[in-house]
Amino acid sequence: MSEKTLFSKIIDREVPARIEHEDDHCVAIHDIDPKAPLHLLIIPKKPIPRIEDASADDRTLLGHLFLVAAQLSEKLALDGGFRLIVNNGRDAGEAIPHLHIHMLGGRRLSWPPG
């Protein structure tokens, strides 16, 4: 069995995190190194290493993650907008091999992002 990722440890409550949302399929936590006034990580409980490893069977879960982002934007009054980012691979900035969506908001975001 492979070693648990940091996110799996957070989901299993082995590592503390500031949780903004949790349901049967995912958890949303505040990033410990935020890049915007609001920086959440929306993490599926199913440990998919990266988006390229997702399968057709994961389509409902992947859609759920986006719907959770929309719910969080309402809850947190992100009326001016927000950005969702998924990193895939080292060159994209992936640091933890457990699929997650960065949700940034609370300020005007520039483009291109990096």
Q: Is the pLDDT of residue 114 over 90?
A: no
44 burial via Cβ count (<10 Å: 0-12, 13-18, 19+): buried
Helices (H), 1-114: 6-11, 59-75
Global pTM? Answer: 0.94
Instruction: Kindly list the structural domains of the chain, giving each domain's residue range(s) and its CATH number in brackets, ordered by start.
Output: 6-105 (3.30.428.10)
Q: Is the pLDDT of residue 3 over 90?
A: no
Instruction: Note whether 42 and 26 are within 8 A (CB).
Output: yes
Catalytic residues: 100
Q: Residues 14-47: pLDDT tens digits?
A: 999 999 999 999 999 999 999 999 999 999 999 9
